[in-house]
Amino acid sequence: MKINKQLAVVEAVLFASGEPVEAGRLAAASEIEDINALTEVINLLRDRYEENESALKILKLGDAYQLAASEEYYGYIRSALENKKSVPLSSAAAEVLTIVAYNQPVTKGFIENVRGVDSSGIVNSLVEKNLLEEAGRLRVVGNPISYKTTAVFLRCFGLSSLDDLPRLPGPDGQVSFDEITV
């Protein structure tokens, strides 16, 4: 398949999906032989969008890619599509997301142990908002459900992967000056 056709196929798949598409699946659907070749095609598409000052960009979310609008167009999109006012996360929801992001997969019991309060409602709300998802059941008494963050979480917080999360403070609770300036 010629490169222009590959570019068009990758773009069409990402557009039609509307959700992140795993790299292996995207390569297979686009008849691209391997992930390295897919990365080259993605980079060519990104360059094309940049050269044409397109409103579109391609996000890398973990091992997946998603077609999205550039940040400068968010206001226009929001005013055109806004059905309800977006509500910011409560401090409790942000705390639960932090616990899950740094320790995943975790159970509601683990979250409640760390926070010291019932967190079922918050976890359920974050699942509804697609910021958390079930990661399976633990093989312990009661088979509790474990949770992990989603690609939506990565996108909302501007992360490519969980490796981009800020480092946690050291055991003394302080971040060193060197860690901030690196």
Ranges of each domain in the chain: 3-74, 91-164
The first and second tokens of residue 11, run together, are 């773009």
At 137-147, the pLDDT tens digits run 988 888 899 99
Domain 3-74: top CATH class: mainly alpha
At 94-152, the pLDDT tens digits run 999 999 999 999 999 999 999 999 999 999 999 999 999 999 998 888 889 999 999 98
What pTM does this model have? 0.60
pLDDT given for residue 182 in this prediction: 44
Nearest to 94 by CA among 148, 136, 144, 131: 131
The hierarchical CATH code for the domain 91-164 is 1.10.10.10
Residue-averaged pLDDT of the chain: 88
First to last CA, the chain: 44
164 pLDDT above the threshold of 60: yes
